[in-house]
Amino acid sequence: MLTIGCHLSSSKGFLAMGKTASSIGADTFAFFTRNPRGGAAKAIDPEDAANLQAWMESHAFGTLVAHAPYTLNCCSDKQHARSFAREAMADDLRRMEFTPHSYYNFHPGSHVKQGVEAGVAMIADVLNDVLAPDQTTTVLLETMAGKGTEVGRSFEELASIIERVELSDRMGVCFDTCHVHDAGYDIVNDLDGVLEEFDRVVGLDRLKAVHINDSKNPCGARKDRHETIGAGFIGIEAFGRIVSHPALRDLPFILETPNDLAGYGREIELLREAASC
Ligand code: FE
Ligand code: FE
Ligand code: ZN
């Protein structure tokens, strides 16, 4: 069965997210480790975290896919912004051990005209600083649309980051369908070809999670504007192939579409149906 959920607010704590997920037919979810725009992180209640673990076990949840704040930029041209990214990630990874064996996804960063190579080196540098050999979390680089100076638009860029990370067995990739499509990979007409290319360049064993979003723009637009499932340029037929593909179907799928909770519930139902035929 498909493992699928959506982004949920963490404002009421861990167990509340588990219960909300179950109420819409989800069996995983995503949450921001701290305010997506700012930096402050709430203290974790260990009992609440343990209650979520119990809930996930009794409801057969798949792996959680936490999301770092999208303001973190590991390859900023400003030293203080890079230091902030480093400190926030290190702190997040300590906190992630309250929800052990989860995924922690982040946007590699924007090189702000310093060049992709410099960006890749700075991102790997942060990862080499914050990854710990005893952590249970796998850190995921998100595939990016290539808006502005985003690093991670091509599979080659993701591979070159991972290559430079010493504890690379703690690293994986989260495949965002809107981003990959906007970056110019034709997942609508040639999903097999795109995944073969991913395998050749990064390795399918690195592929750990999928952000499942339709796109408001055509393939290659480099825009990154998410659309609800079926209403965009990717379309429901392509999503049927995506959720059924042998390289993807056992991964956790996370919806980041512009939707409310009831809408997510309908998208989950739709995609579960699409996966079973
Ligand atoms: Fe993201
Ligand atoms: Fe995403
Ligand atoms: Zn996006």
67 in catalytic set: yes
Please state which of the ranges 28-42, 106-120, 262-276 shows the lowest mean pLDDT.
28-42
Mean pLDDT within 164-177: 98
> 149: how many CB neighbours lie within 10 A of its CB?
17
Cα–Cα distance, 109 to 149 (Å, whole number): 8
One-letter amino acid of 37 = R
Q: 6 CA distance to ligand 2 centroid (A)?
A: 11
Give me the pLDDT at residue 36, please: 76
The token pair that represents 194 in the structure block: 């795109």
Residues 6+ apart with CB under 8 A from 87: none
Structure tokens at 59: 């409801």
pTM equals 0.97
Per residue in 23-50, pLDDT tens?
999 999 999 999 877 677 889 999 999 9
- How much is the pLDDT for 149? 98
What mean pLDDT do residues 84-112 have?
Answer: 97
How much is the pLDDT for 277? 63
Q: pLDDT (tens digit, 9 = 90+) per residue, 211-252? A: 999 999 999 999 999 999 999 999 999 999 999 999 999 999
What pLDDT, in 10s, does the model give residues 173-193?
999 999 999 999 999 999 999
Pick from 147, 70, 150: nearest CA to 110: 150
Active site residue 224: yes
Q: Is the dihedral of CA 199, 202, 205, 208 positive or negative?
A: negative
Which of these is catalytic: 34, 95, 107, 153?
107
* Nearest residue to 6 via CA among 157, 158, 229, 235: 229
Is 111 known to be catalytic? no
Residue 260 has pLDDT above 80, yes or no: yes
Q: Distance from the CA of 50 to the center of ligand 3, in angstroms?
A: 31
Q: Which of 27, 150, 157, 176 is catalytic?
A: 176
Over pLDDT 70: what percentage of the chain? 99
CA of 134 to the centre of ligand 3 (A): 31
